[in-house]
């Protein structure tokens, strides 16, 4: 199985790594759905872009010389398993499409029933909305303090951090995936507000 990744909106090709022979039919499957094929008669290319409610409409191209499948303007819903079937080869690809990452948001949080000990510290939450296959992390300088990962697109991430009000160390919250990262730097004076117990 070959893994291929792409940022949403970009183009990506699933390469067959072979030259087509005359009258060599091929099929591209997405799960159990036939999405494209080259028929053995006159090498005619057929794109089935009406499957799955038009998920692939105007986004697929098949190279008539190699049989490679290209996605233009890839979308998150194109993530999944693809299978190439021909007389000479059978290959499986897993395609991961990643959304552009937002900058994480830092805000202060006053826990309910704050004790006097807890009131001496600033509690912060770093949050990112509805991102799949990402990691959210707190760093103090270059030291990782904590992190949380999620693969479910429907889950929002929040990661707490406690600091002293007078703490002037450089902290940052980082949201990243295998493609990119976004960073929000913490300013204790700006982000921390005293909780009234």
**How many other β-carbons are positioned within 10 Å of the β-carbon of residue 63?**
15
Same domain, 138 and 161: yes
Domain with 64 in it: 2-98
- Distance (Å, whole) CA 188 – CA 166: 8
Claim to verify: residue 74 and residue 149 sit in the same structural domain: no
Do residues 173 and 118 share a domain? yes
Of 16, 48, 8, 11, which is closest to residue 31 (Cα–Cα)?
Answer: 48
Query: Is residue 40 one of the residues assigned to a domain?
Result: yes
One domain for residues 45 and 122:
no
What pLDDT, in 10s, does the model give residues 11-26? 999 998 777 666 678 8
SS3 100: coil
Indicate if 14 and 73 belong to the same structural domain: yes
Residue 84 and residue 142 in one domain: no
Residue 196 in any domain: the answer is no
Q: Say yes or no: 57 and 78 in one domain.
A: yes
How does the average pLDDT of the chain come out, rounded? 83
The stretch 92-108 carries a mean pLDDT of 88
Structure tokens at 149: 């990962």
Shared domain check, 140 and 120: yes
Query: What predicted TM-score, i.e. pTM, was given to this entire model?
Result: 0.64
Do residue 120 and residue 92 come from a single domain?
no
pLDDT in tens, 84-96: 988 777 899 999 8
Final residue of a structural domain among 53, 79, 98:
98
* Residue 82 counted as domain residue: yes
Domain final residue, candidates 37, 68, 98:
98
Confidence of residue 175 (pLDDT cuts 50, 70, 90): very high
**Domain-located, residue 197:** no
The structural domain count of the chain equals 2
Residue 69 has pLDDT above 60, yes or no: yes
d(C-alpha 60, C-alpha 44), whole Å: 15
Is the same domain home to 149 and 172? yes
Residue 111 and residue 180 in one domain: yes
Q: Mark whether 86 and 109 lie in a shared domain.
A: no
- Residue 174: which CATH number? 2.60.40.10
Q: Say what the pLDDT of residue 72 is.
A: 92
């Amino acid at each position: 199985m070959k893994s291929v990744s792409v940022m949403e909106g970009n183009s990506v090709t699933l390469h067959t790594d072979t030259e087509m022979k005359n009258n060599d039919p091929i099929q591209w499957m997405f799960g159990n759905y036939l999405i494209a094929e080259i028929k053995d008669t006159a090498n005619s290319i057929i794109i089935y872009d009406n499957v799955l409610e038009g998920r692939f409409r105007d986004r697929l191209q098949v190279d008539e010389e190699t049989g490679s499948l290209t996605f233009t303007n890839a979308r998150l819903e194109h993530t999944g398993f693809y299978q190439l079937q021909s007389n000479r080869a059978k290959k499986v690809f897993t395609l991961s499409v990643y959304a552009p990452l937002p900058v994480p948001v830092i805000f202060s949080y006053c826990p309910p029933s704050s004790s006097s000990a807890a009131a001496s510290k600033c509690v912060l939450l770093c949050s990112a909305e509805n991102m799949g296959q990402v990691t959210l992390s707190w760093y103090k300088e270059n030291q990782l303090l904590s992190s949380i990962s999620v693969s479910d697109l429907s889950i929002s991430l929040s990661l707490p951090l406690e600091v002293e009000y007078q703490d002037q160390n450089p902290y940052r919250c980082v949201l990243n995936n295998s493609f990119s990262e976004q960073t929000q730097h913490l300013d204790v004076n700006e982000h921390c507000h005293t909780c009234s117990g």
